[in-house]
Structure 1
């Protein structure tokens, strides 16, 4: 009887050890590098540049949505994606979860219980802040040299698109519903670097504020950069009141994916703004 009990106990211990080994193997990244789950599309864009593909256990489901992605769809579809729930994230057995500034309390609690490190990255308000975030992400995935290489590419793109002389055209980035990025935002710095003058302050707008159509018509910019073409922005721009202004101002599309993220998106954003300015 005692020998039978000892045999059963030994089998149970062996089973637990095997399950633990399986979990350890699942969490082991390439060459000991940490496995990452990202639940933020802006972080996804940085990871594509700095992490090894084998390190990325999952990305945000937004990156597989053509309306919200900051990376090419064909690239996003090579990875698993989650909506950021605690169950989905923990099931990927990551070493590190990288998220935006706002994370569901249940997810935070689950990660704490599982001893999974959480890094939160806010919306950058300047090029310098974005580059600091790149360094944080690159350090977390143990690929600091790739982070510095990305920063060098961003700096080179900003220099190539920069205008150093004269007062540039008065411009406004106008999102669906009239939302405008004002002074102190990354979008405003990119405008200034590429030779525009952000008109938001002329309207008395705050960092992120709403500009009514009437105010826009009363004091129009020289360049109106419309965010989110194909939705509410288009309907606002087709308003009869604006019909006469389109002969006097340049209305150009500004893709929404360029507005909210830093990182490698800055390269595309300054290139897009410089192309518009040169063609005016």
Structure 2
């Protein structure tokens, strides 16, 4: 009897050894296939999905303003049209910009679910978006790892000693980013004093030239979207 039990254990071990790779491959195949419709949505997909989950990214996925552009190399891209989505029939389509009218209803007909991250830069909104994307992509563990890293880095930024230097962000057209904008949050997280916030500027508004002359900031921060210059 002991010998038979030993043989059974060996057989079950052999069966498990054979079936395990098959089960792993089946689990991988069950993960949803995804397309991304704009370069902001690309970042969620490239950060969380396996490469073999990604059916297509937006045309901007490998451009200079795409954070994960290196990961986009070699992956298919498309024009993010409804016709392409209907033809490809992905499980999920991710879009962070304004959704085309009736897109969700149309792509739902071919079994594609539209994922739209919540707009905003507040940490809890960011964390919620990453968590939801991770769950939708069947990559919850990867999402939680990313969230933990984000919390750690955010905490480190909050501990940076504050500087008395006043920083003003200004666009080529003379607009600045005030309270409630992502740019203003970055300035303050960097430990600088916000020139716009000190003037009670909320959102995106023009920055009066007179203010810059009478009380100039210590630091100018500028962005240029049509050059390779780092701002």
- TM-score range normalised by the length of the shorter chain: 0.7 to 0.9
Contact 1:29 1:54 in 2 (8 A): no
User: Is 1:42 equivalent to 2:44 in the alignment?
Assistant: no
User: Is 1:104 equivalent to 2:100 in the alignment?
Assistant: yes
Residue 224 (structure 1) shift = 1.1
TM-score (norm 1): 0.65
What count of residue pairs does the alignment treat as equivalent? 205
User: Is 1:71 equivalent to 2:59 in the alignment?
Assistant: no
Distance 1:161 1:204, change over 3 A: closer
Matches within 5 A, 1:44-193: 44-66=42-64, 68-72=65-69, 74-193=70-189
- CA–CA distance in structure 1, aligned partners of residues 177 and 199 of structure 2: 12
- Find the residue that maps to 2:57 and give its secondary structure: strand
* CA RMSD after TM alignment: 2.5
Residue 122 (structure 1) shift = 3.9
Contact 1:126 1:184 in 2 (8 A): no
Deviates more, 1:100-109 or 1:78-87: 100-109
Stretches of structure 1 lacking an aligned partner (at least 5 in a row): 1-27, 235-252, 255-280
- CA–CA distance in structure 1, aligned partners of residues 210 and 105 of structure 2: 47
Distance 1:191 1:79, change over 3 A: same
Contact 1:126 1:189 in 2 (8 A): no
Stretches of structure 2 lacking an aligned partner (at least 5 in a row): 1-25
- CA–CA distance in structure 2, aligned partners of residues 230 and 101 of structure 1: 21
